[in-house]
Chain A
Amino acid sequence: MKKSQAKKKRKPVDHILLAVLFTLVCMGLMMVFSASAPSAFEEFGDSLHYFKRQLAWVVMGLFVLAFVSIVNYKSYKNTLSILMVLNIVLLILVATVGTEVKGAQRWLGIGPFGIQPSELTKVVVVIYMASYLEKLQKQKQTIATVYVPPAIMVGIPLVLIILQPHFSAIMIIGVVCAAMMVVGGVKFRFFAPAFVAAGLGGTALAIIEPYRLQRLIAFSDPFADKLGDGWQIVQSLYAIGSGGLTGLGLSRSRQKHLYIPEPQNDFIYSILCEELGYIGAIFVIVLFVILVWRCFVVAARCPDTFGSLLAFGMGFLIIFQVIFNIGVATASVPPTGVPLPFFSAGGSSFLFQMIAMGIVLNISRSAE
């Protein structure tokens, strides 16, 4: 009766999630402006250089968010194969005609705005995993059913990303997949070989590219090589420590003055700590906790398994990057270039974060 009537009408999105998301996006934009102003002035003679670009991305991102939030999530099951092909084509394009930045070929230039196809990969993999795990619910779990499909469907893009190389993207995708498999009910005995494989893969990477090992060493004691490998982390710790309880005040960061390289990117949270203090830092963490709580609530309330896993996967994708980014900034985990969602400057990553959130918002409409 009433219930069926309501079902026909489009249900509203999760208000709390939307509010928190807007708050984070606004804070992110503010911090991009504050953190990037000095280096923007230094490089381009225009303090607003990065801010203007980011503002454009945010505006675009909000349209994308609005659009995605009205696209029925179930339709992704049908378009999944197209998305996966598109993803692989883009990754191959990166490998062939991509732009090389700092020794890694990760960007695909489209006009003045470059995009990172690996960001697309993250979202596509989550959709794929949700779809595959939904099917697994009805199947008997064997090596063939658990390993083979994702090994092919996720493995191919991962190999292409290794070629770039983009280690952090691989790690994020791997962990998100693992988390989704746990939630999707994959039996624990299947995880042991995955851990061994991940361990072996990590060791192999360390041997092939020793700079990763150096980063690990720098992480355990950044002050040992303050001017070399430890520089970024030490400067990040200086920024965080300088914040104290209440911070130096918005825009008053000293560490952004060329001490922290690209302060608007991966170490934007350190600048936030310096300017807004412990109070500001905790405020942001609380916002992210509310965000993940709402995402998981949306996942739990979704009546179908695909929607549940999709919402969980998107929420986890965002929040794992948050945890890892803050972990790097506080020297709690080895330094890896992971941006802080909604904060770090950068177009394609922001766009795909909006897509991820748009999908969750759409799923929130289907709540029981």
Chain B
Amino acid sequence: MTNNNKKIKKRILVMLFVVVGCFTLLAGKLGYLMLVKGDDLKRQAMEDQSRDRLINAKRGTIYDRNGKVLAISASVETVSISPVTVRKDGDPEKTAKLLAETLGLDEAKMLEKINKNTSYEIIKRKVEKEEADKIREAELVGVYLDEDSKRYYPYGNFASHVIGFTGTDNQGLLGIEMVYDSVLKGKPGRVVTAKKADGTEMPYKQERYYTPENGTDIVLTIDQTLQHFLEKHLDTAVVENKLQKGAAGMIMDVKTGEILAMSTKPDFDLNDPFTLNDEAEKQRIETIADKEEREKEYNAAIQKMWRNKAVVDSYEAGSTFKIFVSAMALEEKLVTLNDTFYCSGVKNVGGWPIHCWKRQGHGSQTFVEALQNSCNPAFMTIGERIGTDLFKKYYEGFGFTSKTGIELPGETAGVFYQKGMFNEVELATSSFGQGPVVTPLQMITAAAAVANDGYLMKPHLVKQFNDENGTPTQVIEPTVVRQIISPETSKQLRELLEKVVSEGSGNRAFLQGYHVAGKTGTSEKLPRGQQKYVSSFIGFAPANDPKIAVLIALDEATGGDTYGGVIAAPVVKKIMEDSLRYLGVEPDLTEEEAAKTEVATPDVTNKSVDEARGVMTTFKLNVKVEGNGDTVLEQVPKGGVKVAENSTVILYTEKRVIPKTTKVPDVTGLTFKEAEQKLSEYGLKISAAGDTGDKVATKQSPAKDEMITPGGTVTVTFEKKAH
């Protein structure tokens, strides 16, 4: 071997090392790209390679505390296309025509969309199943159908400000729907389709389906029945008193802080929340010439319609505030029940004469009487004894300076004097309720604390969260914010406030046997001197063991009276009466009272009309005779039913034909719950045939639109859902 060849060998070896070195570097770079950065690059590549279609999760249902459905989502579909796929592999003309015809869209616009250079275009949302099926059957290439949901509110206007509603993207826009949007909406699923670089689908199916996570159901503390009572009586009050600015009302469970009912009037239909329902306002806006101005006004009006007065609007507490001044004074032992106060109709504070609402004065009165009379000078004197510091301490303690934290949007915290602005005169006026500006919710929460042994409860609307199987995932327990007065003071106040109703200014809220306690309030709206008032009444019952608190605030009554004791107290009385009966609270009547007021109807059937009249008179009952016969064939109420004295008993002397006045609604396609709900709205009963679980109604008897007697029964057959 030559010397040269040895050298060459050596150099070849060096070159081999160089080459192996290069490969080592490349292997390192490959390792970095594939093992370290691999996931990241893969994810980026997938984003480029895939076309996503979102599948909306089923939004959680909202129930009342007894499981009645207040808001529910039904399945609809979203139609989308992949324009490049339609152009390449499909039939653009046919696709445009069919989509336009089925969905009621413009064919030219449809073609325009198909000619877009994108790989995903939404054609229409919230398409009902029948239309979607038509498109599905046509088997168009590049056209996709995905599940979506639409929100239904079975009760329409019911508790509209509390429940709230959703927008086009199923996002909550008001009330519980807004506050718990993230909980209700769940997690949307996705369909990822692999696509080629030109946007068309990969030749083999590479579709991945990520199941949506359905939203959480919410059970409210609202009781549908109590809400119904509240709304019924509030509606009446709005009309009777010609309220200019509507009304707000609430029923609260005194012991837990649960809101059992909350209503703002006027309300709106949750199924159609974007339409202004105030006709006069609508006409006014339509006459505005400037388009921009008109839209602005319309939006403002809509916002006003959506405003939940119960938590957003604050008002001057007025005389209802005397409850809390009394609480402060009694708790701090600054007054006794028998302390006497003299009212001349005016009291000078800081050089200013401040008048009583009763200009001629109340004269000499005990503390108990002063509260019953709602006497301003007496409370000014009590305020003096309390002083600004203690007053402020309690004012804050009752929660008037902070938001309650209720699960509703836009809650406000009321207004009180700025630091250093709360002096002698302000203390005096505040002592009878002029000055403190609070929200209805703050008022009822504080009043409930007075009734509840001094424990201020955190008001809340959500009772529990359930997963889609109805299993509770979270139960909201009552929360004590703080104890503000002692149970003894609470007891004293309960008795005092019961007297306000039974003997004092609140007597129009008196309800035999139910021990309603409460306080009236009439506050002049600011700025003063416009003769505009908020008339309110806050009450709770039964006074000896309070269960519910009811607050009514009527805004700008123009029907004559404006005094809270005159117009708000009767509303509370009616609500209390319905609610307490519904809640099974036994009226606590002495035997004498009971005997005095109630009688059992005698059975007079088969007696002659004259004889029957005689019997009824002796029972202090009135008679109304229907028909021309001589003999009583039937009576309403029947014999043995307890009724109030001077009630009327109807005597029928002819065979009674009950008119068929109720039209049967269509319940097919509904679940048992929904069907029951719907029928009950029509005052009808349901009789289910077949197993009802996870089934839908397929048949009903009588059929829809048939007329039957009110209160009749509809037999509904349930069968397995057809998919």
Contact = CB atoms under 8 A, between A and B. Distances in A.
Contacts of B590: none
A292 B19 contact: yes
Interface of B: 1-2, 4-5, 7-9, 11-13, 15-16, 19-20, 22-23, 25-27, 29-31, 33-35, 37-42, 44-45, 48-49, 194, 196-198, 202-203, 206
Contact of A308 (B12, B37, B49): B12
How would you classify the secondary structure of chain A's contact residues: helix, strand, loop or mixed?
helix
A281 interface: yes
17 contacts: A238-B48, A241-B44, A242-B45, A243-B38, A244-B39, A245-B34, A254-B206, A257-B202, A281-B27, A285-B26, A288-B23, A293-B16, A296-B15, A299-B8, A316-B15, A323-B19, A326-B30
Contacts of B49: 254-255, 257, 259
A215 B39 CA distance: 27
Interface stretch (A52-60, A157-165, A176-184, A337-345): A176-184
B23 A323 contact: yes
Contact of A241 (B1, B12, B27, B45): B45
Nearest to A244: B38
B197 A179 contact: no
A184 B11 CA distance: 8
Contacts of B19: 289, 292, 316, 319, 323
Nearest to A138: B4
Q: Which 9 A-B pairs rank lowest in CB-CB distance, beginning with the nearest? A: A241-B41, A238-B45, A258-B197, A257-B196, A183-B11, A242-B42, A259-B197, A278-B34, A300-B9
Given A241-B45, A296-B15, A332 B37 contact: no
Nearest to A292: B19
A283 B30 CA distance: 12
B34 A240 contact: yes
A183 B35 contact: no
B45 A239 contact: yes
Nearest to A259: B197
Contact of A184 (B8, B42, B206): B8
B16 A292 contact: yes
A330 interface: yes
A259 B48 contact: yes
Given A182-B15, A245-B34, 6 more contacts: A244-B39, A254-B194, A273-B30, A281-B30, A312-B8, A312-B12
Contacts, number: 135
Contacts of A257: 49, 196-197, 202
Contacts of A358: none
A256 B39 CA distance: 19
A238 B197 contact: no
A254 B33 contact: no
Interface string A291-305: 011001001100101
Contacts of B9: 300, 308
Contacts of B26: 285, 323, 326-327, 330, 332
Interface string A268-280: 0000010001100
A330 B15 CA distance: 23
Contacts of A182: 11, 15
A293 B20 CA distance: 9
A309 interface: yes
Given A242-B38, A323-B19, A330-B33, A300 B12 contact: yes
Contacts of A28: none
Given A254-B49, A288-B23, A305-B5, A242 B41 contact: yes
